[in-house]
Amino acid sequence: MDPRLSSLQATEQHAQEIISRLSSLKEEIKKVIIGQDEAVDQLLITFLAGGHALLEGVPGLAKTLMIRTLAEAIELKFRRIQFTPDLMPSDIIGTEILEEDHSTGKRFFKFNKGPVFSNIILADEINRTSPKTQAALLEAMQEFSVTYAGITYPLDKPFFILATQNPIEQAGTFPLPEAQLDRFLLYIKIDYPSVEEERMILETTTGKKTIVIEKVIDGAQIQEAQRLVREVHISHDLIDFVNTIVRKTRPGHDSAFVNEWVRWGAGPRAGQAMILTAKARALLHGNFAVTRDDIRKVAFPVLRHRVLMNFKAEAEGVTADQVTERLLEAK
């Protein structure tokens, strides 16, 4: 047998094993989370693409439960940080403490690592803390490291920040600045369940049955899946399609509705995110090439926090999703 053919078959077999584990991961989440298939898909796409996600939905839609269930099914360190107005940056990244060497009697400062030194971080109600504390996550999200007292500490990989916020209660909240929003790969919106889904939730969560979540994938396999995502093929035509969509979100082009409603369009990071998440979605569904449908599906969570609407749009109730939809229809 040709060694190259044998190597290719081995690669395909390995890829299928990874895809099978991802399917098992999704099934474990569905043991607890009823419905919300699109939100679960987008959460897994975030993991495969190696980014961070912001989940938004009204209270009671299982945002926190979804993230905790995902963490339970993966062999990685998980920490939950409850964001409150009095939370300080040191509560997240850590602080120096004074210790004494009992053999010599000398005192020295030792860096005591905070909860951000985990693999999966649940930043619960991230908009309830001050901008100063929110900014403590910026380096971790972008550089996968933390700098304290002039020393840079690398974070373990894989590393994910999954943040939640609800759109109703605005008193005592601090909206995330655009620079930090842009660090989130996807902005996932969770909606109310359907009639049948809500009935199933009521039935399954009020009985005595205990659901056990099995660990089906580990950190090394997640990293292998991330490497595999990069190898998923995307045609030059689809790269041009992504480039056109992103550029047309910016005022000054020939889209009248964009000029009318949009204050700032998406930057190059949006195009990178769209391609990478489209590749991740293709792999999640067992495909090794990106389709136009993959791009259309990820365009909304990629662009909704990167296209900033103006006052006229807000007054008329026009959203970034509506602008994205019209841009996709025009192509």
Q: What b-and-e string marks burial along 176-194, b requiring 16 or more CB atoms within 10 Å of the CB?
A: beeebebbbbbbbbbeebe
User: What residue type is 176 in one-letter code?
Assistant: L
CB 242 within 8 A of CB 251: no
Q: How many residues does the chain have?
A: 331
Give the pLDDT confidence score for residue 233 in this predicted structure. Answer: 93
For residue 120, list its beta bridge partners: 78, 160
Give the pLDDT confidence score for residue 5 in this predicted structure. Answer: 46
Q: Which are the contacts of 292, defined by CB distance < 8 A and separation ≥ 6?
A: 238, 241
Average pLDDT in the chain: 87
Question: HSE of 49 in the Cβ direction (CA atoms, 13 Å)?
Answer: 26
Give the pLDDT confidence score for residue 171 in this predicted structure. Answer: 63
Alpha-carbon distance of 213 to 26, in angstroms, equals 11
> Which tokens hold the place of 12?
């395909």
Q: CB count, 10 Å around CB of 238?
A: 19
Give the pLDDT confidence score for residue 331 in this predicted structure. Answer: 62
Q: Is the pLDDT of residue 10 over 70?
A: no
> Which tokens hold the place of 72?
């339970």
Q: Is the pLDDT of residue 264 over 80?
A: yes
The closest alpha carbon to 91, from 67, 57, 122, 116, belongs to 116
Min mean pLDDT across 16-20, 235-239, 262-266, 280-284 is at 16-20
Residue 76 vs residues 2, 62, 118, 178, 234: alpha-carbon distances, Å: 39, 21, 8, 30, 31
CB 133 within 8 A of CB 87: yes
| Domains present along the chain, CATH in parentheses | 21-216 (3.40.50.300), 232-331 (1.10.8.80)
Render pLDDT for 61-115 as a digit per residue (tens, 0 to 9): 788 888 888 888 998 899 999 998 899 999 999 988 888 777 777 887 788 899 9
